[in-house]
Amino acid sequence: MATPNDAEQVARLVRRAASDGVPLAIRGGGHSQSGKSLTQGGWVLDTRGLNQVQLLGDELVRAQGGAPWGQILDALRGTRRLPPVVADIAEVTVGGTLSAGGLGTTSHRHGVQIAHVEKLEVVTGTGERVRCSRSENASLFDAVRGGQGQFGIITEAWLRLRRAGGRLRQYLLRYSDFERFASDLERIVEEGRFDHLRAETRMHQRTILLSAAIEYDDPPDDGQVLEGLGYEKIDASGETDEVARAVMFPKWGFSWRNHHPWRDWFMPWETLPTLLEQPWLDPQTIPRAPGSWTGVYPIRMGPIDAPLFMRPGGERMLSYSVLAVLSRRERAHKVAERLREIDRTLVGLGGKSYLSGDVGYGRREWAEHYGEKLELGIQWKKEFDPKRVFQAEGLPF
């Protein structure tokens, strides 16, 4: 494993790998699982030594590619500024989420992280350090955002910032009426009632837990905020001045002793009732909470200028996740196989895999996933990584 501490060290390692014919895989904080940070007979390049963060006024933060999102929040503490979309796992890195797409609890309002990048520094497969943006080296900029690390290593990112509220009020709303939940979710997304949204589905309890939060300076009126919603009860509520960290997942199940068969999909908005019922979830195969987390994020999508970020059409979509944490390898393999079967069902409903999880695709599935964009990815591979230095397990480029 190589552990560079700056972009020039990364560039030298890539040039050496290209010269020696050694494949490289890139690893940050583990946002991509199931072999995507491994390569057969090659080196793993750990980016976490590139972890510097610098605030550039009110509009931008400059972060090296190996900086964890939690460290970015620490650097912004007290500034009342945040990126529009923050990853909800503190340990994953900027370069990792931008290489996939990047989701969070504000995605119903701001979409995905790759839409809010101003500029990048990238080390290409030839070992060249290149700055790119929508107006400079635009093809490289488009290739690496959502490109799964197959066209270059993101060593630095300039991220836009938004104004954040001074405090956060959180509500955990319990629903047992799935039809009413679907109606309420559409309503509150349309109205923009909450700043943060995430829903957990607990099928063994026939329950949905909607985590909703408001950033504020002047305290909101709970009666107005919750007016007209058909939840069964409020399971919890609270306030904090840790506006972004409060909506992150706890450090949950990340021990190396555990196995993590995780899958995420982007689904058309109209599939929400089916996703809530989840007829494919067999409790004999998929463990119940707290051994797993299943749920949905609403996502509002504007135009995305990252062609390899594949998603359903429409202005709104859903992220649907099944995240299992298991101690026994045999059980994890069974869950992973079941998730591949579920994938066929969800793709048949118009879904697209979010490529952070255990995809397990072959040539036919990759062709279906990328469609006409597959040829564009192949062309970009020839342009930006002509010696095929970047070779993570299981990816098509």
Query: Which has the closest alpha carbon to 266: 310, 323, 202, 322?
Result: 310
Return the axis-axis angle of helices 373-384 and 363-370, rounded to nearest 10°: 100
Q: What is the pLDDT of residues 225-239, one digit of tens each?
A: 999 999 999 998 888
What pLDDT, in 10s, does the model give residues 195-212?
A: 999 999 998 889 999 999
Dump the DSSP string for 31-78: SS-TTTT--TTSEEEEGGG---EEEETTTEEEEETT-BHHHHHHHHTT
Neighbours of 279 (CB within 10 A): 8
pLDDT tens for each residue of 145-202: 999 999 999 999 999 999 999 999 999 999 999 999 999 999 999 999 999 999 999 9
Which residues share a beta bridge with 123?
Answer: 129, 153
Range(s) within the chain of domains with CATH label 3.30.465.10: 7-163
Domain(s) labelled CATH 3.30.70 in the chain stretch across 167-243
Q: How far apart are CA 356 and CA 376, in angstroms?
A: 21
How far apart (Å, rounded) are the C-alpha atoms in residues 145 and 98? 6
Give the burial string for 223-241 (b: 16+ CB within 10 Å, else e): eebbeebebeeeeeeeeee
Q: How many CB atoms lie within 10 A of CB 51?
A: 18
- pLDDT surpasses 60 at 35: no
Instruction: Specify the CATH architecture of the domain 7-163.
Output: 2-Layer Sandwich (3.30)
Is the pLDDT assigned to residue 37 strictly greater than 70?
A: no
The overall pTM is greater than 0.85? yes
Specify whether domain 167-243 bears CATH 3.30.1490.
no
How confident is the model at residue 38, as a pLDDT? 57
